[in-house]
């Protein structure tokens, strides 16, 4: 059965790859991006099933207008993929106020507003699915990515709460958590002016690992997107979908360490309860 998908950040990376795979299998795609001309080649190949619109997710009014127009013109939208995002790559002290504001406006506030905009339409049609693209960085952290992690940990908490609010309306969420994937993500990193004082710190280690190619990027974009599509097609959607063997290893280690630390605190944790 043909499905209709609404995708943000469709110009490149996972968004572009997902659009291509879905169109190739015969689905309809509402692809939103800042420069719609980036999909001119796909528009020529799939004129009947590709719908495009200009969308900057930092423009909240535009989010509401574009999402409403997509539902009005396409009818039912089965899956919404909130994918737009990027990363600022620098130690927290190095970041400018503008870089902080733009990162959170795109990855966190932008994702929140996309979800808020589509909920009334999904509710009116009796349900649907939302895939929120996060990363392994929504559960673990690397030095030099502090602000990126703030945005991803933030959107994951938002989705966990909203998923409970809208479950009675037949709306399901899955947070997608890929590890480092072979896309143009690295080329789009925003890099502030580095401070020499951080050269001999873990932040400097990460910079050198990425610059040298030592930082392993195992994820295959086509396989990652195919797994996301299978997830959306499944009868029941998982709350989180971790993608990549490295992500599995790192997230498992982080969760295990967190649980060990929690158990070690049990006595003091429980000691602060008020006495009846």
Active site residues: 134, 148, 152
Tokens matching residue 75: 């009818």
Question: Which runs of consecutive H residues, i.e. helices, occur in 125-201?
Answer: 146-166
DSSP characters for 243-261? ESHHHHHHHHHHHHHHHHH
Helix (H, G, I), strand (E, B) or coil at 204: helix
Nearest Cα residue to 134 out of 101, 166, 119, 156: 156
Its sign, for the CA torsion 135, 14, 22, 130, is positive
DSSP characters for 207-238? HHHHHHT-S---B-HHHHHHHHHHHHHSSS--
Instruction: Find the length of the chain.
Output: 276
Tell me the CA distances in angstroms from 214 to 69, 206, 208, 210, 218, one per residue in order: 45, 9, 8, 6, 12
Give Cβ neighbours of residue 75 (< 8 Å, ≥ 6 apart).
4
Nearest Cα residue to 168 out of 115, 127, 125: 127
Tell me the CA distances in angstroms from 135 to 125, 181, 234, 236, one per residue in order: 29, 10, 21, 21
Tokens matching residue 17: 């790859």
């Amino acid at each position: 059965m043909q499905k209709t998908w609404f995708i943000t950040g469709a110009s490149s990376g996972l968004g572009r790859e997902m659009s291509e795979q879905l169109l190739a299998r015969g689905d309809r795609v509402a692809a939103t991006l800042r420069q719609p001309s980036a999909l001119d080649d796909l528009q020529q190949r799939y004129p009947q099933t590709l719908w495009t619109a200009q969308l900057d997710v930092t423009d909240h009014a535009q989010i509401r207008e574009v999402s409403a127009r997509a539902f009005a013109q396409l009818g039912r939208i089965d899956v919404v993929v909130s994918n737009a995002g990027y990363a600022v790559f620098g130690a927290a002290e190095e970041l400018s106020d503008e870089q902080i504001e733009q990162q959170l406006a795109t990855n966190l506030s932008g994702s929140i507003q996309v979800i808020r905009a589509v909920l009334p339409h999904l509710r009116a049609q009796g349900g649907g699915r939302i895939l929120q693209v996060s990363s392994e960085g929504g559960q673990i952290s690397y030095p030099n990515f502090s602000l990126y992690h703030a945005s991803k940990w933030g959107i994951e908490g938002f989705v966990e709460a909203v998923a409970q609010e809208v479950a009675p309306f037949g709306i399901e969420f899955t947070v997608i958590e890929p590890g480092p994937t072979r896309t143009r993500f690295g080329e789009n990193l925003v890099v502030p002016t580095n401070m020499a004082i951080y050269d001999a710190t873990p932040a400097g280690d990460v910079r050198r690992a990425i610059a040298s190619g030592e930082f392993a990027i195992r994820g295959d974009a086509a396989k990652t997107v195919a797994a996301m599509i299978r997830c959306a097609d499944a009868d029941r959607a998982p709350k989180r979908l971790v993608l990549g063997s490295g992500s599995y290893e790192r997230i498992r280690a982080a969760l295990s360490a967190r649980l060990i630390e929690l158990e070690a605190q049990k006595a003091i944790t429980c000691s602060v309860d008020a006495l009846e």
